[in-house]
Amino acid sequence: MPGPIMPGMTTDDIRALFEVQYQASRAQPDVPLLLRRERLLRMRKLIDERGPELAAAVQADFGMRSLRLTEVADFFVLRALLSHTLSHLARWSRPQKVRTPLHLQPARAWIQRQPLGVVGVIAPWNYPIQLALAPAITALAAGNRVMVKPSELTPHLSAKLAEVVGQFFAPDELCVVQGDASVAALVASLPFDHLVFTGSTAVGRKVAQAAAANLTPTTLELGGKSPCIIDANCNLQEAALKIAHGKLLNAGQTCIAPDYVLLPQGSEAAFTEAYRAAVARLFPQIEGNPDYASIISARHLARLRTMLQQAQTQGAEVVSVQPAPVAPAPNHQASLGDGISRQMAPVLVFGATSSMQLMQEEIFGPVLPVITYERLDDAITHINANPRPLALYWFGNDARVRDDVLARTVSGGVTVNDTLMHIAHDNLPFGGVGDSGWGAYHGEQGFVRFSHQKSVLVQSPWAMGWLFYPPYGARFDRVMQALRRWL
């Protein structure tokens, strides 16, 4: 049953905790369906009862991020995942029958889905509850033990998550370890049966290298510069609203946020006004608005400002789309903490080139470069000349053009005529490709990812396998000749 909370763990403590989970997984390689369901129901109870405390901890880490934003971006996703998983868990868990080929009949065969053992989760800071618990939920559903390492950039959330998880789960079921980047490196080096990492491509390479020493399979959910193509015949106002929502949710600190827009030449002014109106509709004010999240830290804010300054120096046009400022009530402003100073106003950048930092790195902020194209081929060529993105967005009304874009580009996922929404579909796998990651989870794809698919063949008493035994001769030749006609 639930064990004690273990703050301030040492390296030896973390290794010992992993060993507890490892030994528990080996002592119980087959986890009953009822126990898996009970663990998921405990997770639901944790979210329902302690969710407000976790959301308050996220608010404390960001300085400015409303509880409602955490509700829709973290808890809603987790609740949907839990409901979907509980509804399908029995079907996913049962043996998967397969047809037996003629030359092996009358044997029977199936695929038995078994827990891998112990799954590690190294979670990021941008959606710190969702991206810590979503892979944990799916791994628990598959019967695994799970160790979660939250980001050091969300210390309040990390501490609160460790506390509440320790009250609902035993350490050999699910645990949270806290610490800085050195602790994350230690976790990556442990001999997990599977390791999930969500974060930057640069750190993902290091995680993959550390896991390779133990032959630990990994799921890497990385970033990338996700393009958004606007077709000439789309409704620009509707597209701008959906792009603004996808870009400015969590102030752009979203791995699948539109990173840049590919816009038909001549539409620059119209798009600017449409985007400005969309921003004003979503966020009537920026400063002091709890629905508009702060940049996570002063260092990240400085990085974004340096990007903009470099772009301007090299000739790009930076256009502020900030609505008219409205002073928040003094008492309200004081209650929101120091996050106001890290609320970065949205901007558009025209004339960005490949030599600029903001076109070389994932932006992860409310900065949206706009690149114009003359022909669709130019837009596709631009996308394909760069590493494959985690997401791609297309806005338009011509299904033939849409299908052409889908056929000629490769990305982790796609949403057509909207942004972000493919991640919310429980029957769609979520994952990257190339530099944006590998492996996918969500729904049954995630269950399979965290399961060992064991092949089982049960031989029949009437099996004719002896026909293939040596010594080979005329009988063997006749059998092989007959099989060649049937196969």
Burial of 406 (0-12, 13-18, 19+ CB in 10 A): middle
Residue 146, beta-bridge partner list: 119, 174
DSSP string, 309-366: HHHHHTTPEEEE-PPPP-PPPHHHHHHTGGGGGG-PPPEEEES--TTSGGGTS---SS
Rounded CA-CA distance 164/380 in Å is: 47
Catalytic residue among 175, 228, 234, 255: 255
**Nearest residue to 38 (alpha-carbon basis) of 86, 92, 93, 91:** 86
Task: Check: CB of residue 219 under 8 Å from CB of residue 197.
Answer: yes
Residues 6 or more apart from 454 whose CB is under 8 A from it? Answer: 111, 112, 113, 114
Task: Check: CB of residue 271 under 8 Å from CB of residue 230.
Answer: yes
DSSP string, 427-457: TS-EE--GGGEE-EESHHHHHHHTEEEEEEE
Catalytic residue among 221, 234, 362, 444: 221
Residue 261, beta-bridge partner list: 228, 370
- DSSP letter (8 states) at residue 32: -
Q: Does residue 255 have an active-site annotation?
A: yes
Task: Check: CB of residue 357 under 8 Å from CB of residue 312.
Answer: no
In 149-267, alpha helices (H)? 155-168, 181-189, 201-212, 236-248
Rounded CA-CA distance 23/142 in Å is: 17
Would you call the peptide bond into 471 cis, given omega within 30 degrees of 0 as the criterion? yes
> CA angle at residue 248 from 247 to 253, to 5 degrees?
80
Q: What are phi and psi of 245, to 5 degrees?
A: -60, -45
Rounded CA-CA distance 108/95 in Å is: 12
Residue tagged 């769609």 (tokens): 428
Q: Does residue 228 have an active-site annotation?
A: no
> CA angle at residue 150 from 431 to 200, to 5 degrees?
45
286-310 in b/e burial notation, b at 16+ Cβ within 10 A?
Answer: bbbbbbbbbbbeeebbebbeebbee
What single letter denotes the amino acid at residue 170? Answer: A
- Active-site residues, by number, are 221, 255
